[in-house]
Structure 1
Amino acid sequence: MDMSQYLQIFIEESNDNLQSLNEHLLNLEHTPDDAQILNEIFRVAHTLKGMAGTMGYVKMQKLTHNIENVLSDIRSGKIHVNSDMLDILFQCLDALENYVDEIVRTGQEGHEEYRDLMEALERIINQSASIKVEQSAVSTSQAETSVVTSIDLMNLPEAPLHIKDEALRQGLNVYQINIRLSANCVLKSARAFVIFKDLETIGEVIYSNPEVQDIEDEKFEESFSLVFITQEDKEIVKKKMLDVMEVEEVTIGVFEQSDSSEVVSISQKDEEGAESDKAVKTEQAAVQQQNGQAAKTQQVANKSVRVSIERLDNLMNLVSELIIVKTQLDGAKGHGQDEHATNYNDSIEYLERITDNLHQAVMKVRMVPVESVFNRFPRMIRDVSRKLGKDIELVMSGEETELDRTVIDEIGDPLIHLLRNAADHGLETTEERRKLGKDPKGTIRLQAYQDGNSVVIEVSDDGKGINIDKIRESSIKKGVITREEASALSEQEVLELLFKPGFSTSSEITDLSGRGVGLDVVKSKITGLGGHVEVKTEIGRGSKFIVRLPLTLAIIQALMVKIADEKYAIPLNNIQNIEDVRKEEIKFVQNQEVIVLREEVIPIVRLHKLLDLEQEERDVMMIVIVKKGEKQIGFMIDSLIGQQEIVIKPLGKYLSHINMIAGATILGNGEVALILDVNTLV
């Protein structure tokens, strides 16, 4: 059976389940006696195991099965939750995430078996209840050897009855096999298909109840029965069945020639099964599909967005209205202009309103709450706090704030850098905080909110703040700036040095800091998304990193301007105001053209020079004042065209190295206008 059609669903559901496990395990650490949380963890783990087994990912299924065993012993009270145990469980979740990542890339789970984690899980069980486990194993073994009961053999129709009698006369074995699948089995018909295929390798199925077609259509509960002819004994047949994942129970009855003798049945729960043999068999089957699945994976595992029914209904209604307007316009084409001019104009106005609403609806469909990114961070902060030996609390707010999916996909790594930076550099140790009279538990706040056409994400801490003098000295030592340049820098300009490549104030290299990699990556990533980042700090009170991002990277409001004979677009959310400046008002400060506007000195950039265009000298120059964080700059242009909503198109890989151009847009008359990248120019 080709399971590649279910690959995308498996990936999405697995990511959701792993995130859910992370959140619930964090909650369990705080409230280890909460039975409701524990039951939910067990349910999610069981679902994940079933999904992996259904797709044939044996290693992932086996690891999840061992996790489930530990959770089962916690539920029964044999094991008590502690931080060391949770560390191992979190490492197992990381391993499962690695499996999913490998599946996304190749369609296969890879060769890593994480034996160290499997052994650690087994040690948890053995150390906590070794005697009980041994006693349970003995009693189970005895029970299996002593079970001899009878089952009712089905009355066969005439055709399979003759086949059965002939097989018995030839000395073959005829079994009635009753199979019960797990109540949580996903794709029961797929499991039944595997069972039929496995049995056909050692014999022949002559009858089924319900019929084969009903089994294929999944018209049965958890159980079904087969009549099976084979030369093998019942132990081999039983093993074949128990090798199939999600088979809960197998009962085998033996047909005799007289059909009157007592029959033997064997029942066994699928707890451990024959995992190693099953792994070999399933991996062999997987290898045969590897080339086809791997080729399909990149097409199947595409990015997706989950959309509420209400938003889809809204889109459907708007499209329906578009069809109505199209019909009205088609009807107006064949008639006289005077007679239908009013109806025609009304239809055009109606069409404009619908397209505006349709645009807003599509934009909402692309929007995803930042919660999908924020949810990873509590687990990360928990690991970092244990590694650093600090008591850290992460407080999140504004998780419902929405961003374009393309921005959401890229913002995770920069936020990880900022949060680790706050935990390592920002917060003092527990002892230092006690000496300073602070709460021993440090707090990191992660907040998101919408501000106009932008979304602001703030990462702040209540730590020691950033030492400006230390940054100056470190910059001089690393040769980033000279001592003379450092003395002339303002406090905000010194803070900007934090984003220089290779810059670090850490005196030693650890897993978290000291390598000079981090904030420069943050800035380049956020700038690439059309946003910017700024820093605010206060010694002894803490620091705050403010990330400002555009709501979407697809459609923006822009100011269309003319420079020489070319048209350019400047994103509207960067623009402060537009000023007419006389030629004599432009001054030079340190070889930089500036103007003084409302007692502020603002540098001037002649875009003509940057874009290699001819400029006509005029007595009055038009200046567009743009702002990035606390910094302002003026762009000199020739004339304004007006405000316009534009669709951003990428330049392509051959022109992607042009830093001051963010993309291009196609105007209403078919002309192409370039979009200026304000973050690079400021």
Structure 2
Amino acid sequence: MNSLLDQFVSECRDLIETSSRALLALETDTENPAQINELFRAIHTIKGASGLFDFKPLTSCVHAGEDLLDAVRAGDVAFNSGIADLLLEMLDRLVEWLDSIEDSETLPSDAQEISAALSTRLRDYISDGAGVNDADDTSQQTEVAAPWPDDIPVLEGAETGLSLITYTPGETTFFAGGDPLRTVLAAPGLLWMQVVQPDDWPDVDQLDPFMLKIGFRLVSSATVPDLEKHFSYDIDDVSIERIAATDGPSAIEQLADDILQSQAALLATPQTGVAAENIQKSAADVVARVGRNLNVSDDAVGDLDATIADVRGEPAGNDPAPVDKPQVAEPEKQPAAAPAKQRSSGYLRVDSDRIDALMNLAGELIVAKNAMPFLARKAENIEDGRELVREIKMQHNTINRIAEELQAAIMQIRMVPVGSVLSRFNRLVRDMSRKLGKDIRYVVDGEDTEADKAIVDELSDPIVHLIRNSIDHGIEDPTERAEADKPKQGTIRVSAFNKDDSVVIEITDDGKGIAVDKVVKKALERGLIDAERVNAMSANEKLQLIFLPGLSTKEEVSDLSGRGVGMDVVASMVRRLGGQISIDSEPGLGARVTLSLPLSMAVQQLMMVEVGDGLYGVPVDSVVESQKISPVSIRRHRDAEMVLLRDRLIPLVRMRDLFQCDAQDDPETLSVMVVDVNGHESGLVVDRFHPGVDAIVKPMSGVLANYDCYSGTALLGDGSILLALNLREIVECQYH
């Protein structure tokens, strides 16, 4: 896909998001002029941009939506939920078509049919809302008209009246993106057009081809309201009046006479050789065509003078047959399309200050790099190696500082607001609550909170699952809420904020909450956990069982929930991103799901540990402390090894046993790294500790991709490979 088309798709997706937000806001405040104008501007921009490409069904459909919004903006049509539904359906179609353009650079084969039907439904609202009817149109056609101008040929329909338009666009129209000629040629009912030249043309050396000097006069059979709508963006440069003629030749006769006269003038132009032959052949062909279409006598056809005389002396008695417009069969009306899955954009909008900071750091890095050859030459002549080592270390410190600042600057460029994802779920809440007969308000806090673009792009799917669960499982219907002395309108609130080096997303609802006993019962029934483990759990730990695969408290399976995959899928996606998830609930008051995700997936801080012959990385954020303990301090509880540290009983995980390393002699002390996994501490028994390192962790590939105990690999400075550990899987593998 070429860069221009790629940019068009990306910008249209952003404009569709803007349009959806404005539409949903208008449903609660139908007369908000700011939202109406924002919506109109977004749709108008999509229409204008699509005109650069040959996607006529898309352009036509958006144009119809723009006309409807223009009528709403003018107050001719009252905005209502029906209009909102139809415009949202149009936006859904646009998303589908953009997906097709992105995949194949073409629209789907049924785009023209869908566009025609949808455009008709959109414009039906204009007719209904504006109160225009056939009687009104007739009155427009039969109102008192001005006399027919002498310099305009009498056209078909002149007896009953036509519209004369004088269009004088401003000199700077081209700079505003206007195309006056295209506007004139696309005028409805166009019968005749004339270019109006200025009274005085500037000298050739002073002529600016980009400054418009001409105007237009045109005659149309369309009504004044239709013409005003067509010229709505240039209405200040247009005057429209009705004109009529009582007698004169028919339009087709006048047109034929004009054509034949032009051919006569062309033949009279001095020409020789091939040019003369070509002109004569062309004129003969035109005369024959005109004659045949006007039923001129056979003797006159082919002779210019005879044909002109025949046209003037024996006017055709029959009007030309009207040209039928191609009719597009309207397909069977389909329900509004489901919100399409959002594709992540390949573009980033970056503040210029962040780019400037990156450029400055790049300059410093070049300066530091240029110092290295000087050090190399100095090394050739130096006798005292200590001085060289000192200068190399100094230069390394400089490069290290620049590299760290460069990394931070690049991270800032990749940071985008989470609101770009969170705000789009207004539509999901609206459609699902209507389907279930519930009244639900969707609120977003902390839209400006920033996170890495890769994290933000991945947020969509887990949050969709959580919001669907809140709508279906959590929020009660209005009657049930009224019986519980709660407001009939439920609320789903999504909050985002930064905490330490993480971004936290909380999804809260004020529904009926989660019945912990019911969760435990389902887990036991399905054999997902045994009774002994349940008895040892706290109430909060029992609540976390809802993340077990295959568990659902919904008694009936619907198209929204009940299959026992939602919460497990959410937990898996969050953990794959290196984050954590937890849930809290109070019966009758609601539930809150908390997602804690790293700000970035690019660079991670890892503590290195050695087990057997391998080096492994543990995320610094998960490390609580590192200790040397005596083997005699280890206690056994229910076949598990534990150690008491600062009044905390810490279960141990022997990494050598887990990785099936060769047995070693009993050491005098054990190296234990205490880590926090989902709020529970465990001690990893390793051979020895190593310093921490900043590493770019790449996902596992090949055979190792099937081993869940590893989250990825990183390349160290000496070329060796570091395996990053998935602590959750390691702890579960040890105990479960």
TM-score range, shorter chain: 0.7 to 0.9
Letter in 2 for 1:556: Q
Q: Displacement of 1:444 after TM fit?
A: 1.9
What 5-or-longer segments of structure 2 have no aligned partner?
A: 153-166, 186-196, 199-207, 222-231, 241-254, 266-322, 329-342, 732-736
Q: Displacement of 1:149 after TM fit?
A: 6.3
Report the Cα distance in structure 2 between the residues aligned to 1:186 and 1:476, rounded to whole angstroms: 72
RMSD: 4.2
Matched residue, 1:18: 16
Distance 1:636 1:275, change over 3 A: farther
Report the Cα distance in structure 2 between the residues aligned to 1:635 and 1:333, rounded to whole angstroms: 45
Report the Cα distance in structure 1 between the residues aligned to 2:151 and 2:351, rounded to whole angstroms: 51
Match of 2:81 among 54, 71, 83: 83
- 2:64 touches 2:122 (CA, 8 Å); kept in 1? yes
Matched residue, 1:643: 692
Larger radius of gyration: 2
Letter in 1 for 2:18: S
Determine which structure has greater relative contact order: mean sequence separation of CA pairs < 8 Å that are 6+ residues apart, divided by chain length.
Answer: 1
After the TM superposition, which residues 31-46 of structure 1 pair with which residues of structure 2 at under 5 Å, given as runs?
31-46=29-44
- 1:54 touches 1:191 (CA, 8 Å); kept in 2? no
Letter in 1 for 2:526: K
Match of 1:627 among 667, 676, 679: 676
Letter in 1 for 2:382: Q
Matched residue, 2:411: 363
Deviations 1:264-307 (A, max 9, x none): xxxxxxxxxx998799xxxxxxxxxxxxxxxxxxxx99722221
Report the Cα distance in structure 2 between the residues aligned to 1:503 and 1:142, rounded to whole angstroms: 73
Match status 1:132 vs 2:177: no
Report the Cα distance in structure 1 between the residues aligned to 2:591 and 2:416, rounded to whole angstroms: 28
Matched residue, 1:674: 723
Q: Displacement of 1:77 after TM fit?
A: 2.5
Match status 1:108 vs 2:102: no
- 1:564 touches 1:615 (CA, 8 Å); kept in 2? no
Matched residue, 1:326: 369
Report the Cα distance in structure 1 between the residues aligned to 2:122 and 2:642, rounded to whole angstroms: 67
SS of 1:132's partner is coil
- 1:428 touches 1:464 (CA, 8 Å); kept in 2? yes
After the TM superposition, which residues 291-306 of structure 1 pair with which residues of structure 2 at under 5 Å, given as runs?
303-306=346-349
Q: Displacement of 1:350 after TM fit?
A: 2.1
- 2:169 touches 2:180 (CA, 8 Å); kept in 1? no
Q: Displacement of 1:79 after TM fit?
A: 2.0
Match status 1:30 vs 2:31: no
Deviations 1:303-335 (A, max 9, x none): 222211111100101111111122233233223
How many residues are aligned here?
A: 587
Matched residue, 1:121: 122
Distance 1:94 1:673, change over 3 A: same
Match status 1:664 vs 2:713: yes
Q: Displacement of 1:669 after TM fit?
A: 1.2
Distance 1:496 1:544, change over 3 A: same
Report the Cα distance in structure 2 between the residues aligned to 1:442 and 1:77, rounded to whole angstroms: 33
Distance 1:449 1:15, change over 3 A: same
Match status 1:503 vs 2:546: no
SS of 2:486's partner is coil
Report the Cα distance in structure 2 between the residues aligned to 1:276 and 1:100, rounded to whole angstroms: 29
Distance 1:135 1:487, change over 3 A: farther
Q: Displacement of 1:534 after TM fit?
A: 0.9
After the TM superposition, which residues 38-437 of structure 1 pair with which residues of structure 2 at under 5 Å, given as runs?
38-113=36-111, 114=114, 117-129=118-130, 132=132, 134=134, 220=210, 257=262, 303-335=346-378, 336-337=381-382, 341=388, 345-437=393-485
- 1:7 touches 1:301 (CA, 8 Å); kept in 2? no
Distance 1:180 1:433, change over 3 A: same
Letter in 2 for 1:572: V
Distance 1:570 1:483, change over 3 A: closer
Distance 1:459 1:139, change over 3 A: same
Letter in 2 for 1:11: V
SS of 1:569's partner is strand
Alignment TM-score, normalising by the size of structure 2? 0.71
Deviations 1:333-376 (A, max 9, x none): 22343798476554333222211111111111122121111121
- 1:51 touches 1:186 (CA, 8 Å); kept in 2? no
Alignment TM-score, normalising by the size of structure 1? 0.76
- 1:104 touches 1:301 (CA, 8 Å); kept in 2? no
Report the Cα distance in structure 2 between the residues aligned to 1:356 and 1:301, rounded to whole angstroms: 28
Q: Displacement of 1:54 after TM fit?
A: 1.8
Distance 1:248 1:582, change over 3 A: same
- 1:54 touches 1:187 (CA, 8 Å); kept in 2? no
Deviates more, 1:331-340 or 1:43-52: 331-340
Report the Cα distance in structure 1 between the residues aligned to 2:233 and 2:148, rounded to whole angstroms: 21
Report the Cα distance in structure 2 between the residues aligned to 1:304 and 1:7, rounded to whole angstroms: 13
Match of 1:455 among 503, 512, 515: 503
Letter in 2 for 1:101: D
Letter in 2 for 1:310: D
Report the Cα distance in structure 2 between the residues aligned to 1:184 and 1:639, rounded to whole angstroms: 75
Report the Cα distance in structure 1 between the residues aligned to 2:508 and 2:481, rounded to whole angstroms: 17
Matched residue, 2:607: 559
Report the Cα distance in structure 2 between the residues aligned to 1:189 and 1:123, rounded to whole angstroms: 28
Matched residue, 2:572: 524
Q: Displacement of 1:528 after TM fit?
A: 1.1
Q: Displacement of 1:412 after TM fit?
A: 0.7
SS of 2:51's partner is helix
Report the Cα distance in structure 1 between the residues aligned to 2:23 and 2:72, rounded to whole angstroms: 13
Report the Cα distance in structure 1 between the residues aligned to 2:180 and 2:684, rounded to whole angstroms: 67
- 2:698 touches 2:713 (CA, 8 Å); kept in 1? yes
Report the Cα distance in structure 1 between the residues aligned to 2:581 and 2:324, rounded to whole angstroms: 52
Matched residue, 1:652: 701
- 2:173 touches 2:179 (CA, 8 Å); kept in 1? no
Matched residue, 2:630: 582
SS of 2:704's partner is coil
Deviations 1:113-161 (A, max 9, x none): 33664454244334434x5054566578889x99976899xxxxxxxxx
SS of 1:352's partner is helix
Deviations 1:52-91 (A, max 9, x none): 2322222222221221222122123232122232122222
Deviates more, 1:403-412 or 1:70-79: 70-79
Matched residue, 1:4: 2
Distance 1:493 1:12, change over 3 A: same
Report the Cα distance in structure 2 between the residues aligned to 1:480 and 1:123, rounded to whole angstroms: 57
Distance 1:72 1:193, change over 3 A: closer
SS of 2:660's partner is coil
Distance 1:302 1:465, change over 3 A: closer
Distance 1:488 1:679, change over 3 A: closer
Matched residue, 1:292: none
Q: Displacement of 1:486 after TM fit?
A: 4.5
Deviations 1:632-675 (A, max 9, x none): 22211111111111111233244322211111111111111111
Distance 1:477 1:91, change over 3 A: farther
Match of 2:592 among 544, 547, 556: 544
SS of 1:649's partner is coil
- 1:454 touches 1:573 (CA, 8 Å); kept in 2? no
Distance 1:601 1:628, change over 3 A: same
Matched residue, 2:667: 618
Report the Cα distance in structure 1 between the residues aligned to 2:699 and 2:643, rounded to whole angstroms: 34
SS of 1:633's partner is strand
Distance 1:180 1:493, change over 3 A: same
SS of 1:54's partner is coil
